[in-house]
Structure formats: structure tokens, C-alpha cells
Structure 1
Amino acid sequence: MRFSRRHPLFVAVVLCASVIVVARPTVAEGDGGGVPGTHSEEGVSARVARLFEEAAVATRRYEAGRQAAEAQKTKARRLEKLLARERKQIAVLNADLGRIARAQYREGGGVPYTAQMLFAENPEELMRGRRAAWQADLAVNNAVSKSRRAETRLAADEAKAARAWRALEEWKTGLSGVKQTIQQKLEEAQWTLQGQADAAVAAGACRGAVRLDQPDDGRSRAWVAPVATYELSAGYGSGGERWVSRHTGQDFAVPIGAPVRAVGEGRVVKVSCGGAFGMEIVVEHADGYYTQYAHLAAVTVDQGDRVTAGQWIGQAGTTGNSTGPHLHFEVRVTPELGSGVDPVPWLRKHGVEL
């Protein structure tokens, strides 16, 4: 793949790419004593949260690298046409050199000037001939210089393009490696966290709130979705073998450890571990409704705590009656099961579109 050296934007992009590779995110290491398998619950939860952030950064950088590569491919095709045009121009110049040389030969350009003076019958005619020969020589010299400059420029273009393309490929490879490393560490930490959650649920006793640093996202909305990034799965009222009658909430497919947010301001009225919902939280809101967050892998609040909209109150998991990582979210008119309403229109009424 080739590029023209007359387009400095490509080099600037590659230099930026190199900076990104150097400034790759630091992968969080074990923070619960440093010995594998001995992390405290709080240490693993914090590690998962940090790795989620680093994975998001790595994904954004990798996506930026992929888009840059696609843009360069498009640019490469355009610049390849310019280089092809340069080659055609060089071929035309070489043809011109041959034509001029042949013309000089036919017009006596190879006869010594002294001999031409001896045999000339008309000095004025001789001078006109010499002037024409001088102009022809000048044309030849100009054509030769132009051809050499074009060939030099073409060689420089191709060399610079090769270096730039190699740098871009190394950049993409580096970003891919960073992303893969973080994902591997994240997966390991996720299942460690889930194992601790399963043990707590089996014992029927939560270990207490895991205090995580809250995101500095400038929360200003009164109501938000319970998770930031998700895919909707089982909805309210749907049927299924794992439910006694109908599904009582809305499920959000998210990975283990994904931060779970309070949808609105309220007070935590229940934190429990055990039973079909596994690890769960129930929050009472000022309008008299209650929201439930179930199948968690960790909780970051205690019963009685006040929470705000968007505050991290737990981490998603797959505890209890669950077939895979997700958040089970309910809206109720009482704190207890059996009083649920459809969460989707309820959230929509509060300005939250899923």
C-alpha cells in the first residue's frame, strides 16, 4: 500500500497512534493482599470496577484505531491513483527525451559547430540553426531534470508510505494486545467475585456493603436506567420455566460486575442474600414506589442508606435463580414480591427510555 509524501495528515495520525500505544492503560493488579485466591470481597469488587473502566478505555482506543485504519485505506486508494499518475508523467517525460534527442540528430545536432561554420552558405541561417539547437538542448536539460525530480519524489513517497503503514499496523496490534490482556484479567476477576457472591448466598448472609469510588459523571437527572449499557432480555409478564407464573420484572443482560445504579433518589429498605433472587437490594422512593435489583454479585450499600439517582448500589451477577449474568429489575407498590408493575412504562413516565 502506498501514500504520497505530499499528504502530511497521514504522518500526524500515525504519530498520534504511537502516543496512544505508549500511553496504554495500566492493568490493575490484585489489591486484596496480592495472593491469588485470597482477595477480600471489597478488593475483588474494586478490581472488577477498575478493569471495567480500563476495558472501556481500551475498547474506545481500539475502535479509534480501527476507524483510523479504515480511513487510511480509503486515503491509500486515492493516493495510489496519484502515484499512478506520477508514473505516467515520468513515462511521458522519458518519451519526450527520446523524441528531442532524435530531432537533434536529424537537424544536425551531432555535427561540430566549427564544421557547420565552414560549410554554411548563409551565416544568418547558421545562427538561426544554432539558436534552435540551443533551445533544443535547454528543453532536453529541463526534461531530464523534471524526470529525475519526479522519480525522486515517487521513490520518497513509496518509502514514507511503507514506513507509515508499518507503524499503523504495529499500533493496531499493540491496541489489540492491550484490550485482550485487560479482558482476560477482567474475566478472571469477574468469576472470582461471582464465586464469593455464590458463597454468601449459600450461607444466606451478606458480607456487608462494598464501598466503591463513585463515578464522577456529573449526575444531574432525577431518574436514570438501572445500568448504563445493556441489552434487554426477559420482559415483564413473559412466561418461562424458571418462574412460578409470569416474569415479575425487566431483565437487563449485562456482564458480571457491571455497576448497578439506583434509578432515583431513595432509601435502601432491604439488602438480602439467599432465595430465588440471590443477592438483592430494594429501594423506597419518595413517590411511594419501590425498586428491586436482584441476582447481584456485590452490594455497595447497607440497609437504611440514602441513595441518589445514578449512584452505584451494587454490581450485576448471576446469583440465585439465574441462568446467566443479568440484572433483574422490578418496580413495586410494596417492598415485597407480588406487587410489581411493568418497569418499562414506569421508567418512561419518569423520562427514562430503554
Structure 2
Amino acid sequence: MRSRRRRRPLLVTALSCALAVLAAGPTAATGTGDADRSGGLGAEVVRLYEEASLATQRYEAGRREAEEQRGRAQRLERLLDRERRDIAVLRGDLGRIARAQYRSGGGLPHTAQMLLADSPEELMRGQRALWRADLTVDNAVTRNRRAESRLAADESKAEAAWQALERRNDELAGIKRGIERKLEEAQGTLQGQADASAAAGACRGPVRLDQPETTFTQPWIPPVETYGLSAGFGSGGERWANRHTGQDFAVDIGTPVRAVGRGRVVKVSCGGPYGIEVVVRHASGYYTQYAHLAAVTVEQGERVSTGQWVGQSGTTGNSTGPHLHFEVRLTPQAGSGVDPREWLAERGVEL
């Protein structure tokens, strides 16, 4: 399915949502006034995401540079081939000159002509012939030596270019692998804490993250910055009681989830099929839900602005893989959902 923005290559594509709307409702949040022990971990995941993004940018820039370097090295190889052919021609010329001199006795015939010359003009012609023969040999030898010297320098340059290319690629790959390992470890720990909260039906309290310094000029935005769209509104599936009631965004664990518009948090819960979820009421009378989270960053009753982080994505509740389940409802409760894509499109947001 088409998405508005493509995900970063570093992130693994999440699996499809598997939400079963059961009769039992989500458990109410408890202890929201307490500091969340996973706060530092959630911030660490966000920090690692930023590092991963920078590492990916460096990797892509390095990859493009490597391709350019590869092209330069290939051009050098083609130059070397031409120079090798030129040297072969020069050596052939030297061989022909040497054979010709051997057959004619070198410069002796010209010398004999000069000694037997009957006039100054004939003597001058002999001198010029001798000079041209010597010059031809000297020029051929000089060109050959220069070509061999240039070939050796270019071969060294080509080898250095390939070695630099390999070192650069190894360095960038190592940076990526290191950040990916750290991110996967932090994501696993964050999701483990979230699963424990969901199983207990009690939220730990909000993770207070440093909000991005971004002022949105538009009143409505997508709930995540980069994503791939998976299950859509009204789609069928054996894990859903009827039809899918929202729009799923394929994102990795710990991805910041944003309020799509201004509003007030009316619900934070950590149990039931939605796992950890946040519901926001907007001035238009509609409600938006953000479900299967790994952490929440707001409290019930808190006012939120467009783009403010309300949580971090995860795979809690009835879910088969990391993603954000996003709903638009007429009421805070399940069962009153409308198509989120159409609803956002009416407000100028194309997914």
C-alpha cells in the first residue's frame, strides 16, 4: 500500500496489526502521577533513533561517495589499459628501430656517406639523416620511459582508490551495526517493561521526553513522522472480531507517536486488546486513539498540541508485531470509528 513517506532504511518493517475487538474494555490507568522508571530508557531509545538516523545519512552519503570513487577507479583502470596498449606500441617501435639499425649497421651508412660526400650539400644531407635517426631512437626511448613511469603511478593511484573505498565501506558498516545493536537492546527492554505493565493492567506513568522543537503551521499532521501503511480501515482478518477499526502504521518499537491535532487526553490505559493506549479528544468533537504503545508520554487530562509526543510505539496487547494502531472515533469508546485516512484527508493530510 502506498505511504506518504518512506521509512528509513535502518528500521525493520513492522508486521501487520492483529487487533481483536473483544467484549472486555481496556483497564483504566493507575499511578499516572508516579515517575515512570522506563523514562530514561524511553529517552535512550529516542536518542538512539536520532543517532541511527544520522548514521544512516552518513552511510548513504558514504555509499554515494563510494560509488563515485568506484567510478573513478574504473576510469583509472580504463586509462591503465590504454597506457598498457600504448607502451606495447612504443616497444614495438623500438624493436623495429633496433632491427633496422642492426640490418643497416646503425649509423655507419650515414657516416660513410658523409666521408665520401663530393659536396657540402651532400655532407649536410648526411648529417641531417644521421640526426633524424638518432632523434627517432631518443624520442622513442623517452616516450617509452615516460609511459612506463605514468603507468606505475596510475597503477598505484588505482590501488589506493580501491583500498580507500574498502576502508570507507567497512567503517560505515561498523557504525551502522553498532547503533543497530544498541537500539535493538534498548527496544527489547522497553517492550519488556511495556508488556509487564499491560499484563498487570496498570500504567507506570508518563515518560517525560524532551519534545521536538517544531512548530507546525498546519493544524493536522500524521501520527508518526516516517512510516509504511499496513492494515487499513475496514479490512478483514481472522484475528479481528468484525472488521479492522483503524489504520496501522508500520514503525519500530520506541518510535515517537504524535498527536494529530490539538486536544485533551481523556484516556490512558494499559490493559486489554489495545495494550497501552492513549485517547485524545479534539475540539471538533472527534476522538483519536493511539494503541499498542510501548510507553506513554502524557497524563490523563493533559492538553496536547499538534505534533506533541503522546507515546512511543510498541507491540502491546493483541498485536503480532511493532506498529501503531490509529483510530478516529465519534466517542471515546471502541465501535464508533470512522476511516482515519478519509478523515485526515478532509483536513489536508494525505497518507
Q: What TM-score comes out, normalization by structure 2 length?
A: 0.83
Partner Cα distance (2:73, 2:148) in 1: 19
Partner Cα distance (2:212, 2:165) in 1: 33
In 2, are the aligned partners of 1:233 and 1:251 still within 8 Å (CA)? yes
Secondary structure of the equivalent of 1:318?
coil
- What is the CA distance between 1:107 and its match in structure 2? 5.8
CA deviations 1:213-260 (Å, max 9, x no partner) are 223455333221111222222211122233222211111121111111
Over 3 Å counting, the alpha-carbon distance change for 1:235 and 1:111 in structure 2 is same
Paired residues, what number? 316
Tell me the equivalent position of 1:347. Answer: 344
In 1, are the aligned partners of 2:259 and 2:304 still within 8 Å (CA)? yes
Over 3 Å counting, the alpha-carbon distance change for 1:110 and 1:139 in structure 2 is closer
In 1, are the aligned partners of 2:111 and 2:126 still within 8 Å (CA)? no
Q: Where does 1:148-163 land on structure 2 (aligned, <5 Å)?
A: 148-163=145-160
Partner Cα distance (1:308, 1:315) in 2: 16
Partner Cα distance (2:298, 2:136) in 1: 86
Partner Cα distance (2:42, 2:301) in 1: 22
In 2, are the aligned partners of 1:329 and 1:343 still within 8 Å (CA)? yes
Secondary structure of the equivalent of 2:218?
coil
CA deviations 1:127-146 (Å, max 9, x no partner) are 21111211221232222222
In 1, are the aligned partners of 2:232 and 2:246 still within 8 Å (CA)? yes
Does 1 or 2 have the higher relative contact order (CA < 8 Å, sep 6+)?
Answer: 2
In 2, are the aligned partners of 1:41 and 1:210 still within 8 Å (CA)? yes
- What is the CA distance between 1:153 and its match in structure 2? 1.0
Partner Cα distance (2:149, 2:218) in 1: 62
Q: Percent identity, please.
A: 70
Partner Cα distance (1:81, 1:113) in 2: 43
What is the root-mean-square deviation in Å for CA atoms of aligned residues?
2.2
Tell me the equivalent position of 2:236. Answer: 239
- What is the CA distance between 1:308 and its match in structure 2? 2.0
Tell me the equivalent position of 2:319. Answer: 322
Tell me the equivalent position of 2:64. Answer: 67
CA deviations 1:99-136 (Å, max 9, x no partner) are 34444556664329876554334443132111121122
Partner Cα distance (1:77, 1:276) in 2: 58
Tell me the equivalent position of 2:298. Answer: 301
In 2, are the aligned partners of 1:104 and 1:136 still within 8 Å (CA)? no
Mapped pair 1:214 → 2:201: no
Partner Cα distance (1:319, 1:117) in 2: 105
Q: What TM-score comes out, normalization by structure 1 length?
A: 0.83
Over 3 Å counting, the alpha-carbon distance change for 1:312 and 1:163 in structure 2 is same
Partner Cα distance (1:102, 1:217) in 2: 82
Mapped pair 1:82 → 2:79: yes
- What is the CA distance between 1:67 and its match in structure 2? 2.8
Q: Select the residue among 41, 45, 50 that pairs with 1:48.
A: 45
CA deviations 1:182-203 (Å, max 9, x no partner) are 1111111111101111111222
Q: Select the residue among 238, 248, 251 that pairs with 2:245.
A: 248
Q: Select the residue among 267, 291, 307 that pairs with 2:288.
A: 291
Mapped pair 1:282 → 2:279: yes
Mapped pair 1:142 → 2:135: no
- What is the CA distance between 1:179 and its match in structure 2? 0.8
Structure 1 residue runs without a partner (length 5+): 1-38
In 1, are the aligned partners of 2:114 and 2:127 still within 8 Å (CA)? no
Aligned residue type for 1:210: V
Secondary structure of the equivalent of 1:280?
strand
Structure 2 residue runs without a partner (length 5+): 1-35
Over 3 Å counting, the alpha-carbon distance change for 1:312 and 1:119 in structure 2 is same
Mapped pair 1:172 → 2:194: no
Partner Cα distance (1:99, 1:181) in 2: 62
Over 3 Å counting, the alpha-carbon distance change for 1:128 and 1:107 in structure 2 is farther
Deviates more, 1:330-339 or 1:79-88: 79-88
In 1, are the aligned partners of 2:286 and 2:329 still within 8 Å (CA)? yes
In 1, are the aligned partners of 2:66 and 2:168 still within 8 Å (CA)? no
Partner Cα distance (2:254, 2:67) in 1: 33
In 2, are the aligned partners of 1:277 and 1:294 still within 8 Å (CA)? yes
